[in-house]
Structure 1
Amino acid sequence: MTAPAAIAAAYLAACRAELAALKPGNVHVFAEGHRMTLADFETSAAVSAGPLTAPGRRVGERAEAAVAATMVAVGQNTNLGIVLLCAPLAAAAEQPPPLRSALDRVLAGLDAADARGVFAAIRRANPGGLGRAARHDVTQAAAPPPLLAAMAEAADRDRIARAYVTGFADLFEIGLPALDRARAQGLTAPWTATAIHLAFLTAFPDSHIARKFGLDRAEAVRAEAQAALGALVLGEPATAALLAHDRRLKEAGLNPGTSADLTVATLFLDALRRFEFDQVPPGKDRGKATCQKV
C-alpha cells in the first residue's frame, strides 16, 4: 500500500510531466491551443489532486469531486479524461499489492453509486462532442446502472470507457511498453512522455477527435501521424517535425485529447509501480517481483 501523500505527488508529477512533453495537437510548454492555456492545466492538476487521491473514497466520489474542483478553478473541462483514468489507479494504490490485481479488484467493485459520481462528473465537465446514448445516457435523470455496465455500453466508441472493461489494457500493453522502450533507448523526460503520446496517437483513432469529428476523421489523424511521425527518432532534432505536426492539428481544430489523457495515466501508473518496487522486502528478487506485480 502507498501513502496518500505519495499517491497525490505521483499524480501531480504525471500531470506536469505530460505538459512538459511536446505532444502534437495538445497543450504543452511549447505551444498552447484550443482556447486553453498551460496555466489552466497546471491549476487543474493542483486542485484535482486532493479530491482524486483522498484516502478511502470510492472511484465515483473521487471523480465527481476532482472535476468539481477543476470547474470552479478554471471554468472549463481540462481534465475529465485524466480524472476518470487516474481515479481507479489511485484507489488501487491504497490496496495491498500487486498493483494490477488491486486495480482489477477496484474495477470489479464499482457499482451504481460510482456511476452516479462519474455521471455527475461528466455532466459537470460537459466534454465536447458528448452527444446522446440510447442506453445509460449520462444526461438522463434515470438511476444509473453499475458503472462497468455503463462503461461497457460506451467501450466501442470511447477509449476511456474501454479501459474500465479491459483492466486498463491500453496502459499495460501500449503505454508502459512505449515508456520502457524509450528509457532503454536512453531517452529522458520529457521525451519519454512524448514517446508514450505518439504510441497512443498512432495505435488507434483518438476518441476525443472521433466524438467531435467522426471516426473517419479520427482514423485519418491516426494514419497521418503514423506516416509523419511513426519512424521519427525522438530527441532535440525531432522538435521541428513535431512542432510542424502540432501546428497542422491545431490549425484544423483537432485535439487528440484522449491520447494525452492516456499519457498522463501511463505516467501515473509508472510511478505507482515504482512505489511497489520500492516496497519489495530486502533479500527478494526485486526484478522478478516487479514483473509479477505489475
Structure 2
Amino acid sequence: MIAAEAIATAYREACLLELRALKPGNVHVFADGHGFTVADFEASAEVSAGPLAAPGRSVGQRVRGAVEATIARVSWNTNLGIVLLCAPLAAAAERPGELFAALEAVLDGLTVADTADVYAAIRCAAPSGLGSAAEHDVAEAPTVDLGAAMAVAAGRDRIARAYGDGFADMRKVGLPALAAARRRGLPEIWCASAVHLAFLSRFPDTHIERKHGRKQAREVHERARRLVAGLAPGPQGLEPLLAFDAALKRDGLNPGTSADFTVATLFCDVLSQCRSGK
C-alpha cells in the first residue's frame, strides 16, 4: 500500500516529466500549442493531485474531484484523459499486493455511482469533439456501472478500452518502451518522449480520430511510424521531431490520447518503484 501523499507526488512527477518531454503535436517545454501553455498543465497537475490521491475515494470521486479542481483553476480541459487513466491506478496503489492485481480488482469493482461521477466530470471538462452517443450518453443519468459504460465507447476511444482490458496498452506498449529507452541510457525526458512515440507509432490516436476522423488519425500514425523507424533515439532526433511537432500543430492535430497514456505509464512506473522501495 502507498500513502496518499506519495501517490500525489508520483502523479505530479509523472505529469511534469511528460511536459518536459518532446511529444510531437502535444504541449511540452519545447513548444506550446493548440492554445495551451506548459503553465496551464503544470497548474492542472498541482491542483488535481490532491483529489486524485484522496484516500478511500472511489474512482469516480477521484476523477470528478480532479477535473473540477482543474476547471476551477485553469477554466478549460487540460487533463480529463490523464485523470481517467490515473484515477484507477491511484485507487489500486492504496491496496495491498501487486499493482496490476490491485488494478484489476479496482476495475472489477466499478459502480453506477462511479459512472455518475465520471459523467459529471466529462460534462464539466466539455472535451472537444465529444458529440453525443446513442447509448449511455454522458448527458443522461447512468444506468450501468462505469466498466460497462466504458465498454460501449471502447471501439472509438482507447482510454475507455483500457477499463476493459486492464490497461493492456500501457502494459504492452508504454512500460516496455520506457524500459527499452532506459536500457539505452537515455535521459529521463527522452525516455518519456520514447513512450509517447511508441504509442503514436503503434496505434492511430483516438483524440485525433474523434476530432478529425479516422483517415486523418491513420495518416498521423503512419507518419509517426515511418519517423520512428528511421530515428536515432534520444537527443539526436531533436530536429526531425521538432519538425514533425510543428507540422502537426500547424494542422491543428493533437495526439492527446498518446500523451495521456504517456502520463499514465510514467505514473505507473513511479508507483511500482514506490511499491518495491526504490
Q: TM-score, normalised by structure 2?
A: 0.98
1:235 Cα deviation after fit: 2.1
Unaligned runs of 5+ in 1: 280-294
Report the counterpart of residue 186 of structure 2 in structure 1. Answer: 187
Question: 2:115, 2:142 within 8 Å by CA — same for their partners in 1?
Answer: no
Equivalent residue, structure 1, for 2:25: 25
Letter in 2 for 1:215: R
Name the counterpart of 1:99.
Answer: 99
Q: Hey, what does 1:139 align to over in structure 2?
A: 139
Asked if the contact 1:25–1:249 (Cα under 8 Å) also holds between the matched residues in 2, the reply is: yes
RMSD over equivalenced CA pairs, Å: 0.9
Match of 2:77 in 1: 77
Secondary structure, in 3 states, of the residue corresponding to 2:237? helix
Cα shift readout 1:182-234 (whole Å, capped 9, x = no counterpart) = 00111121000000000000111101000001111101110011112333122
Aligned residue in 2 for 1:177: 176
In structure 2, C-alpha distance between the alignment counterparts of 1:181 and 1:143, rounded to whole Å:
42
Match of 1:245 in 2: 244
- Measured against aligned partners, the alpha-carbon deviations of 1:25-79 in whole angstroms (never above 9, x if no partner) come to 0000000000001100000000000000000000000000100000010011000
Aligned to 2:109: 109
Residue number in structure 1 paired with 2:223 = 224
Q: Distance in 2 between matches of 1:271 and 1:188?
A: 16
Q: Is the 8 A contact 1:57 1:91 kept in 2?
A: yes
Greater alpha carbon shift after TM alignment, 96-105 vs 225-234: 225-234
Q: Which amino acid aligns with 2:263?
A: V
**Hey, what does 1:283 align to over in structure 2?**
none
Structure 1 residue 3 displacement after superposition: 1.1
Name the counterpart of 1:256: 255
Contact 1:202–1:230 (8 Å) recurs in 2 = no
Partner of 1:208: 207
Question: Which sections of structure 2, spanning at least 5 residues, go unmatched?
Answer: none
Equivalent-residue separation in structure 1 for 2:233 and 2:39 (angstroms): 26
1:275 Cα deviation from its structure 2 partner: 1.3
Code of the residue aligned with 2:33 in structure 1: it is G
Partner SS state of residue 47, structure 2? helix
Query: 1:277: how far off?
Result: 1.5
CA–CA distance in 2 between the matches of 1:143 and 1:261? 25
Bigger Rg, which one? 1
Distance 1:231 1:146 in 2: 44
What's the offset of the Cα at 1:174? 0.4
1:197 and 2:196 are equivalent in the alignment: yes
Give the length in aligned residue pairs.
Answer: 278
**2:67 pairs with 1:67:** yes
Tell me the SS of whatever aligns to 2:207.
Answer: helix
- Structure-2 separation of matches of 1:235 and 1:222: 20
Q: What SS does structure 2 have at the residue aligned with 1:190?
A: helix
Cα displacement (A) at 1:278: 1.6
Q: Runs of 4 or more off by more than 3 Å in structure 1?
A: none
